[in-house]
Amino acid sequence: MNQVLRALNDPSRRRMLELLREKDLTAGELAAHFEMSKPSVSHHLDLLRQAELVVSVKKGQFVYYSINTSVLEDLMFWLVTLKKN
């Protein structure tokens, strides 16, 4: 949960997840949505991958990123528990 929260603690990375919710994208396609440099995008994607919030697959010279929401479950459970009395 630590790494998940760390990854979520940045607006750009949250936006990346929203974009990947729509469909899988390459690193370059993702980068096109942001003002920052490609290496910076790559760095953010690395943090998302460390948290296992995304999975990447290389196809030729492209790297496709997909969202993986299963790791959100612990966090959601924790949040719900916090709300219960």
Partner DNA sequence: TAAACAATTAGGCAATTATCTAAATATCTA
Partner DNA sequence: TAGATATTTAGATAATTGCCTAATTGTTTA
Residues that bind its own copies (CB under 8 A): 2, 5-6, 8-9, 11, 14, 17-18, 21, 67, 69, 72, 75-76, 78-83, 85
Task: State the amino acid at position 25 in one-letter form.
Answer: L
Residue holding tokens 């997840």?
A: 17
Q: Which does 57 bind (CB under 5 to 8 A by kind): DNA, its own copies, none?
A: none
Q: Which does 26 bind (CB under 5 to 8 A by kind): its own copies, DNA, none?
A: DNA
Residues at the contact surface with DNA, assessed by CB under 7 A: 6, 9-10, 12, 26-29, 31, 35-47, 56, 58, 60-63
Distance between CA atoms of residues 36 and 6, nearest Å: 20
**CB of 63 within 8 A of CB of 27?**
yes
